[in-house]
Structure 1
Amino acid sequence: MKILGILGSHRNDGATDMMLETVLSAVKAPNTTDMIYLEDYPFKPDQGDHKDPVLDELEAKMLESDVWVIAAPTYWGGLAGKMKDFFDCMRQRLVRFDHEGGTHPDRFKNKHYLSITDCYTGTFENWVTGVTDQSFRTIDKVMSAAGVIKIHELVLTNTWGMKALPENKKQACLKWGARLNTEQKRDDSTLKRYIELFFMVAVMALLTMGIQVGLRLVSTADFWWRYASFVVIFYVLLGCILHFFTVVKHRRR
């Protein structure tokens, strides 16, 4: 298995690079790693039938890799321009367009990615305001359109003047780098888990309301109607909360 690091920052010796290098350092043989520093590649968007040879080279590296570690800092509350420019120039290659301009996953479908970003903002401020959220959303939107599956995301705050990674972040990078050594598999059990959750809610609600009836805390009138409505409403609310914390909300610390 091959893991490809893609660095989209102005410097190749800053905090973003330190995180990326640490993740890749945890990859062990027989797995291999490679890294692209986008500043070294003067790519341009394709013009009609004229394909940019630099993008050809980058695309080949991405195709031969199984996992991408996408690393770029957050500037002005958004993804660093170099990485964004790379995504923009690659858009015709990352996805397939239909006759109405809709996008569909193409050759990169079912590859995996881990995303990294960092910012000068303090930990508490980023946790409250979500400065780095937009960077992760941009990466996720592009990767989702391309059919690439997310593994995890790592964020580093307080990077102004940082010369070395904090120990906790270093260990987090090593942990997730080590996890890249195992073959990544698509998680197709989401629907199954939601069905299981529904039945757990239904059983617990039945037991709770049954106890309430036994203790004469509630009336038995319209019991099943109240039970069914409670299960549905509670399940929908719980599902929304779980979706927010597992999909929408990004790491901020």
Structure 2
Amino acid sequence: MEAAAADRLEGLAASFACAGDVVARDYVVGGSRVSLRFASDALRERIAPAFAHLAAPAGDAPELTVNLWDSASTGMEPPPRPPAASDEPAGALYHFQEPPLRGAYQAGLEALSILDSEAGVAWYWVASAFEQPSWDQACPIRQILFWWLGSRGYLQVHGAAVGTPSGGVLVVGPAGSGKSTVALACLGTDLLYAGDDYVAVTLGPPPHVASLYNSGKLEASHVGDLLPHLLPVLANPDRVDSEKAILYAEQHFPQQTTSGFPLAALLVPIVRADRREPQIR
């Protein structure tokens, strides 16, 4: 291990160890056991709901262990981070590699993600769990999962997925094409819901979709206009003036959440202003 990586691991371990008591939650993601070790109750309360449909009892050793904490709720100094401008937009990423470590720092969110690919251990720190945007809580540790799933034959994709136990569709398209609307419109039906924004896909054979999050995100006006039955189940009704509406399917439609299903087809939605009735071609 390079000296820079060893120094960074030492700093991460020291910050996490001093953050507080650890509460572990185990999940099965893409067929592999993942353990999230929270040293911050505030962060656990905000992140764990996204993975609730994948919960697994404690058992075999995890193939990935993620240590999660924040500074605001624990009173701890931040771990070492790359130098970055504080006024960066939320989506700006600073990537770095110090083998066997891969890291990404989002300066705008003050969020640090690091994966030790050899040890199967990752670290996720945010400055304040209390200030973490609802949309980030709804699909947490994306960068860590992207790296780790890639090493296991899965690709994390920006898409939605709905279906049945025998097969389903991956809903793809650019931002604003209707992926979330299509997926969330299935809540309250007999279809399974694997996600509306990020899922993982393997070509197999056979091709398969793995669910990552049970959350859903949609512009608040679209919920009111197109899916009003979802208004009572929003997780952030007091914040929809400044961010997307968020819901957690596991809390209100648990019979529809799933760990995944065979991938049978791709669905590309197109929004047509001149047509109100949906069509499938």
Normalised by the length of structure 1, the TM-score is 0.31
Higher relative contact order (CA 8 A, sep 6+): 1
Q: Which structure dedicates a bigger proportion of its chain to helix?
A: 1
Larger Rg: 1
